[in-house]
Amino acid sequence: MGIRLTLTGVASSLVGLLKTRLELLSLEAAGEKTRLIKMLGFAFAALLFLTLAVLVFSVLVSVYFWPTDNRYLALGLLAALYGVIGVVFLLVVRHALLYDPMPFAATLSELSRDTEVLDRVRTSVQAESRHARREPY
C-alpha cells in the first residue's frame, strides 16, 4: 500500500508540474502572438513608407523639368521624409528580431530547472540505494 501511495503522490506532483508548465507555455504563446502582430505592423508600415518614397521620387523625377523650383523642394523633402520613416521602421523590426528574447524562453528555463531537480533527486536516490546495499541491517 505504501508504494501505491507513493506512486499516487508522484503522479499527482507530475500532473501539477505539467499543468503549471502548460499554463506558462500558453501565456508565452499569447505574448509571442502579440509580438508577431506588432512586428508585422512595423514591417507593413516600413514597406508602405518605402513605397511612398519611391513613388514620390518618381514624381520628383517626372516634374524635374517643370518650371517652378518650389515643387522640387517639396517633393524632395516628402521623398526624404518617407524614406527616413521607412528605414526607421525597418531598423525597429531588425532590432526586435535580433535582440528580443527567444520565444518561450521562460518555459524552456523552467523545464531545464525541472530537469536539473529531477537529475539531483535521481542521483540522490541512486546514492541512497547503493549505500543501503552496502550496509546490512
By the 8 A CB rule, do 106 and 48 touch?
Answer: no
By the 8 A CB rule, do 23 and 104 touch?
Answer: no
Distance CA 54, CA 48 (A): 10
Residue 56, C-beta contacts closer than 8 angstroms, at least 6 positions apart: 75, 78, 79, 82
Distance CA 52, CA 81 (A): 10
Nearest residue to 83 via CA among 62, 60, 103, 56: 56
Query: How confident is the model at residue 65, as a pLDDT?
Result: 67
Query: How confident is the model at residue 78, as a pLDDT?
Result: 81
User: Over its length of 137 residues, how does the chain's per-residue pLDDT go in tens digits?
Assistant: 567 667 677 777 777 777 887 788 788 888 888 888 999 999 999 999 999 998 888 787 777 767 777 777 877 888 888 899 999 999 999 998 888 877 667 777 777 777 777 777 767 766 776 776 676 65
Query: How confident is the model at residue 81, as a pLDDT?
Result: 86
**What cell numbers appear for 102 in the block?**
527567444
Query: How confident is the model at residue 136, as a pLDDT?
Result: 60
